[in-house]
Structure 1
Amino acid sequence: MSIYFSSQGVGHDVVLLHGWALHGGVWQRVAEALADQYCVHLPDLPGHGRSAAVAEFMLDDVVERLHHSFPLPVQVVGWSLGGLIAAHWARRYPRHVKSLTLVASSPCFIRQPDWPHAQAAEAVNQLAQQLDQQFETTIQRFLALQTLGSDSAKTTLAALRELVFAHGRPSGLLAALQLLQNTDYRPHLADITVPTLVLAGARDALTPLAAAQTWADGVADGRLQVFPQASHAPFLSHETEFLQALRPFLAEHV
């Protein structure tokens, strides 16, 4: 089964992977900014946006679908859940993924006895219930929180609301949630050998700064940049600063 994606721009290929419960359109503003130099692809992960749901949302399966959709060498940027998938893509196909950028992501999203840098399983389950019962309201609140601190918060939020609901309700949230609940990627970090940029918000409560530091320290070639005033979505709340960090890294690895 194929993955839906849209593309814009001309140049070296860059794939932007969205987070849980959203779709590729959440990256639209970043894609437009990069399209003058790159061919930017915005996939909808399985069960999100216009991509059909799957019974089991598995890392190997999702990466194979992405690899089939983008057969040429690519640079991959992944946000939150998308970061976990991007990391596995880079680990599985290091000759295919030229660079990896992880945005507000974590190698382990659920709190463990030896890992306090995450959310309790009960909190994640509660979010899933809220999305199921009040999807539009919950997503609007989420987006509003992520744009706090931006000089153009109201304008950005209005544009995002229109984009986020353009593809309707996602149909595969539970399967993707189960992946987050059951995956601890920490043992595999050293296997990631591609150049890696980790971008994190200092105020991120969902994926705390320690999770970002773990990515940067654990991979073979990692660097960390922190946005002091940002939370879980720096590419939304601090778009200019985000692009200032991303552009040189992409240019370095074309």
Structure 2
Amino acid sequence: MYKNTPLFYRSVGAGNPLVLLHGFLESSAIWDPFIEELSKKRQVITIDLPGHGKSGSIGECHSMDLMADAVHEILMQLQIEEATFIGHSMGGYVSLAFCKNFPKLTKGLMLLNSTPEPDNKERRQNRDRAIEIVRKSKDTYINTAISKLLSKKNRELFPQELETLKKEALSFSEQGIIAALKGMKIRTDNKTILSQFTGPKYIVAGNQDPVLKFSEAKIVAYSTNCNFLSLSGGHLSFIENKNETKKLMHLID
């Protein structure tokens, strides 16, 4: 529970905790194909962030700090003293907010299809437009938004995986989706936080990502002293490049 709201999480394995945080319109289920192997060597914790999966919504805006506090509440319940984080997209934003607010609890960071940079003016405007579309037709927004996350080629290669994502996202409340859009819109610039973080840190980017430009991700990685890793495909590397993603996740053991 966090702020009288139920939060869903799973903990498998023991030692050297690894926290996996999903992205927008996703849930902890995206990590299911990775848990068995990762948990052979360490404790793996997967969490449904507020308003997503089986976790409830908290108010009108789920800021990245609020989500990070929710993650912290779970780690305190599990008596975790230090953890490594892998965050996909929005999960990366939450991981950075956690690192900012709880630096002593943060051992390592991997941003998967994510960035420490805030939304620019155009992206903030796009968030507002997205909110209006969700209010008019949540289903239309979800079906369109998720399809655009993959490279054109991979939309044809992974139709079932896309449908699975869409089906689950359609179960999310309108409030939870809008609260996350508002939270991402107002997130702060965390490049300094990432640059000053001295633990292992990686930025993993898809070379055809339609959301975050590959060239910009590379520049950000080098400017913040991060290891930069590239994968083929778009914004959903855990689907488009599952085996390679699995290998990279072991780098941060």
> Normalising to structure 2: TM-score of the pair?
0.80
TM-aligned CA distance change 1:130 to 1:40, over 3 Å: farther
Counterpart mapping for 1:73-112 below 5 A? 73-112=82-121
Q: Does 1:11 align with 2:2?
A: no
Q: Does 1:45 align with 2:49?
A: yes
Structure 2 stretches of 5 or more lacking a match?
none
Determine the structure 1 residue equivalent to 2:246. 243
Cα drift, residue 24 of structure 1: 1.9
Letter in structure 2 aligned against 1:184: T
Q: CA RMSD in A?
A: 2.7
TM-aligned CA distance change 1:188 to 1:99, over 3 Å: closer
Contact 1:202 1:226 in 2 (8 A): yes
Provide the C-alpha distance between the structure 2 equivalents of 1:206 and 1:6, rounded to a whole number of angstroms: 27
Provide the C-alpha distance between the structure 2 equivalents of 1:140 and 1:29, rounded to a whole number of angstroms: 23
Cα drift, residue 203 of structure 1: 1.1
TM-aligned CA distance change 1:170 to 1:45, over 3 Å: farther
SS at match of 1:120: helix
Question: Percentage identity across aligned positions?
Answer: 20
Provide the C-alpha distance between the structure 1 equivalents of 2:137 and 2:34, rounded to a whole number of angstroms: 28
Determine the structure 1 residue equivalent to 2:203. 198
Q: Does 1:216 align with 2:218?
A: no
Determine the structure 2 residue equivalent to 1:69. 74
Letter in structure 2 aligned against 1:81: M
Cα drift, residue 70 of structure 1: 0.9
Provide the C-alpha distance between the structure 1 equivalents of 2:63 and 2:56, rounded to a whole number of angstroms: 14
- Which deviations, in whole Å up to 9, do the C-alpha atoms of 1:138-184 show, x marking residues without a partner? 3344444445555962343354445545x543532333222222223
Cα drift, residue 240 of structure 1: 0.9
Matched residue count: 241
Q: Does 1:176 align with 2:180?
A: yes
TM-aligned CA distance change 1:61 to 1:160, over 3 Å: closer
Provide the C-alpha distance between the structure 1 equivalents of 2:145 and 2:57, rounded to a whole number of angstroms: 23
Provide the C-alpha distance between the structure 2 equivalents of 1:134 and 1:38, rounded to a whole number of angstroms: 42
Provide the C-alpha distance between the structure 1 equivalents of 2:104 and 2:172, rounded to a whole number of angstroms: 36
The 4+ residue runs of structure 1 with deviation greater than 6 A are none
Cα drift, residue 208 of structure 1: 1.4
- Which deviations, in whole Å up to 9, do the C-alpha atoms of 1:220-251 show, x marking residues without a partner? x5101011x3111111111111112222x132
TM-aligned CA distance change 1:32 to 1:135, over 3 Å: farther
Provide the C-alpha distance between the structure 2 equivalents of 1:224 and 1:159, rounded to a whole number of angstroms: 30
TM-aligned CA distance change 1:129 to 1:38, over 3 Å: farther
Q: 1:25 aligns with which of 24, 29, 43?
A: 29
Provide the C-alpha distance between the structure 2 equivalents of 1:198 and 1:145, rounded to a whole number of angstroms: 21
